[in-house]
Amino acid sequence: MKRTIGILALLVLLTFAGILITRLRATPSSVTQSGAQALSGMTAEKTPASPLFESPLPTPSPTALALAPTATAAPEPIASPAPPPTELPVSPLPSATATPAPGEWRKFIDPEAGYTINFPANAPISAGKSPGEVYQAVLVTFRLENVDKYHYQGMSLRVWPNKENLPIDGIVKELFKDMTLKDLPVNIDLNSQMEETVIATLPAFQTDVLPGSTSVHVLIPHNDKVYVFALVHELAGIDSDPQAVKLFYEILDSFKLLETP
C-alpha cells in the first residue's frame, strides 16, 4: 500500500515538473516579443519619421565687408553743340506783337562788316554766314502791294573781301568767277556793261553782268571790302516789279559806313 502511494506521488511530481518545463520553454518567446516591441517603441520615439519636405537651412546673416573705396573716374567733358550763326543786331519794334506802322523802318547794324542800313519794318530779314564766307550775308523779302507773296521780290547784301585792292573791273571778274566757277567771257566789254553812280554819297558801280535771278547789281568798293547789293526776284526770265526797284534804291540811300577808330 505504501509503495502504491509513493508511486502515485512520484507520477504527480513528474506531471507537475513537465508542465513547469513546458511553461518555461514558452516564456522566452513571449519575453522576446515583448522586448522587441519595447525596442521598437524606443526606436520610434528616438527616430521620428522623416518629413515630406526638408526644412530649409537657416540663411546666414550677411557679413559686412570693409571695401576699399573705388576711385571714380572723372567724367569726360561733353562738347557743347556749335552755336548757330550769330545774327547781328536789328533795332527791334516797340513790342514783339506790335504791327509796324505804314512807312516805319528799322536799322540793321553789322559792326563786323562795318556798316548800317535801314529796311522797312514789315520786311522779313535773314542773316548768316555761308561756309567759307568771311562776313555774313543778308537777305530781305519785300512786302509789296498787289504782288503775290509767293512770287519773291527782294534784295541781298554780300560783303566781299578785297584784300588786294583790285580795281572795279578786276572785282567784277573775280565776283563772276566766284559765282559761276568760270572766267568772265572775253567777249563781254565791261566798260559798256558798268555804270558809275553815287549811293549815299559813296562812289558806286551798277552792272547786269553778274549772274543770278537779279535785275541789277550795285557795287560799293571801300578800302579792303566791296559791298555787293543785288535786286532779286523769283525767276530769271522776269523783271523785278517797279515797286521793288523803287524800294531797292530807297534802301541803298540809307546805307552808311561805320567810323573806324
Q: Tell me the CATH number at 200.
A: 3.40.1000
* Beta carbons of 183 and 177 less than 8 angstroms apart: yes
The answer to whether position 199 is within a domain reads yes
pLDDT of residue 113: 96
Q: Which domain holds residue 206?
A: 105-257
pTM of the entire structure?
A: 0.62
How many independent structural domains does the chain possess? 1
The answer to whether position 250 is within a domain reads yes
Low-confidence ranges of the chain (pLDDT < 50): 24, 26-97
The answer to whether position 82 is within a domain reads no
The answer to whether position 84 is within a domain reads no
Residue 178 in grid coordinates: 566766284
The answer to whether position 162 is within a domain reads yes
pLDDT of residue 244: 92
* Beta carbons of 159 and 222 less than 8 angstroms apart: no
The answer to whether position 144 is within a domain reads yes
The answer to whether position 77 is within a domain reads no
- What's the length of the chain? 261
pLDDT of residue 241: 87
pLDDT of residue 13: 56
Of 128, 138, 157, the C-alpha closest to 229 is 157
Q: What is the CA radius of gyration of the chain?
A: 59
pLDDT of residue 33: 45
d(CA 167, CA 193): 15
The answer to whether position 120 is within a domain reads yes
**Which H or E run contains 22?**
helix 2-46
Phi, psi of 159 (to 5 degrees): -110, 115
d(CA 222, CA 192): 23
Of 164, 213, 154, 217, the C-alpha closest to 190 is 217
- Assign residue 188 a region (left: φ > 0; alpha: ψ between -120 and 50; beta: otherwise): beta
pLDDT of residue 78: 44
39: helix, strand or coil: helix
